[in-house]
Copies of this chain bind each other. A is one copy, B any other.
Amino acid sequence: MSVRMEDIAKILGVSKSTVSRALNNNPLVNENTKKKVLTVAKRLNFRKNYLARSLITKRTNTIGIVLPNILSSYTHEIVYGVETVANKKGYALILCVSSDDPKKEEKEIHLLREKQVDGMIIFFIGESKHCDCIWELKQDKIPFVLIDRYLKNIYSDFVVTDNIAGAYMAVKHLIKLGHKRIGFIIEPEGSTSILDRIEGYKKALNEFGIKVEKELIKTSPIRREANGYRTMKEFLLMKNPPTAVFAVNDEIAIGALEAIEEQGLKVPEDIALVGYDNLRVSHLLKVPLTTVAQPIQEMGSRAAEILIEKIEKNGITKPQRIFLKPKLIIRESCGGGKNISKRVKKVRLLINT
């Protein structure tokens, strides 16, 4: 069917080794024969078969990335960061989506192994206790870098952002503005990102002598705008609702914003709102959102750099554990330091009618 090196060899009456050498810029070939080979190759529109090549060289120049989804702009930016570096370094990228399903995630990781990728970047969503496939990667010395969240019980490379610091900043900002009842909308999963953000939330409250109240931490079902909406409504229906809400990510914050406005309340006058992630949307909202920005693209590109270095040094690098610094982006959803009590009264009034 397709043109092989042997075909070129036969045409020129040379051996296929010579053709191979000519095509691989091997110096052990006469300049003249090389030219001939290249000419014929071009004429026949020859394309090397990387499968056969990789079978011998044990290199595919391909890396895999495993993500829980690709609809969020968060994972989207990760892909961008990874792709940019991979491309620059000459690696192709196989995109795998686990659809938030640990079983599927495991399958994707196995698939990437079968496809003999040189390494992988994994946004791991499985539980720390059930991460055999990650252990196996380590055991079999297949280069991999975790991204966005790390595993406490596995010593490996990872690139994450410092979620404790990020949440701490956000909550401290609200406290400085005079808030004492600060709601927190989180997500159900027990990933390090969420856990660390909870830790940052508590750390800030503790530091300013504010008691952590359980009823102010609510769990939104899944990462969807609609659920920030629903959970915010629950807050608004409380007898003593929070005066500020910290959403564990911007998507939830967007939902919360809609819920607040639907109740006829205003952000930030009635309720202050902080998100997390600094999605590209967030500055375009009706009320530009104060949020914690993570260097998401950088997370992707750093992960790719580390992975590729590891690949090219045959995995003999010491695990790198990178915590990138987040940054508080102050916009309009928190306002300045107005009188809180007035606001609270107004909220109660509106809710109870």
Interface of A with B (CB < 8 Å)? 1-2, 45, 47-52, 54-55, 58, 60, 62, 70-71, 73, 76, 79-80, 83, 87, 92-97, 110-111, 113-116, 136, 140, 254, 280-281, 284-286
Say whether A60 contacts B51, CB under 8 Å: yes
A47→B232 CA distance, assembly (Å) = 47
A55→B52 CA distance, assembly (Å) = 7
Contact of A70 among B79, B94, B115, B286 (CB under 8 A): B79
Say whether A80 contacts B87, CB under 8 Å: no
Give the distance to chain B from A301, nearest Cβ to Cβ, in Å: 13
Say whether A79 contacts B50, CB under 8 Å: no
A104→B46 CA distance, assembly (Å) = 19
Quick one: copies of this chain in the complex?
2
Contact of A92 among B47, B70, B115, B140 (CB under 8 A): B115
A70→B254 CA distance, assembly (Å) = 24
A140: B residues at CB distance < 8 A = 2, 45
Give the distance to chain B from A254, nearest Cβ to Cβ, in Å: 7
- Are A92 and B92 CB-contacts (below 8 A) given A76-B76, A280-B281? no
Contact of A55 among B45, B48, B55, B83 (CB under 8 A): B55
Say whether A95 contacts B97, CB under 8 Å: no
Most chain B CB within a 10 A radius of its CB, from A47, A96, A116, A285: A47
A48: B residues at CB distance < 8 A = 114
A136: B residues at CB distance < 8 A = 45
Give the distance to chain B from A340, nearest Cβ to Cβ, in Å: 27
Say whether A71 contacts B62, CB under 8 Å: no
Say whether B47 contacts A51, CB under 8 Å: no
Say whether A93 contacts B95, CB under 8 Å: yes
A93: B residues at CB distance < 8 A = 94-96
Give the distance to chain B from A330, nearest Cβ to Cβ, in Å: 19
Give the distance to chain B from A241, nearest Cβ to Cβ, in Å: 24
Give the distance to chain B from A19, nearest Cβ to Cβ, in Å: 16
Between A and B, 30 residue pairs with Cβ closer than 8 Å are A2-B140, A45-B136, A47-B113, A47-B114, A49-B55, A49-B114, A50-B114, A50-B116, A51-B54, A51-B115, A52-B55, A55-B55, A70-B79, A70-B80, A70-B83, A73-B73, A73-B76, A76-B76, A83-B95, A92-B96, A92-B115, A94-B94, A94-B95, A95-B95, A254-B284, A280-B281, A281-B281, A281-B284, A284-B285, A286-B286
A280: B residues at CB distance < 8 A = 281
Give the distance to chain B from A83, nearest Cβ to Cβ, in Å: 6
A281→B280 CA distance, assembly (Å) = 9
Give the distance to chain B from A122, nearest Cβ to Cβ, in Å: 15
Say whether B87 contacts A51, CB under 8 Å: no
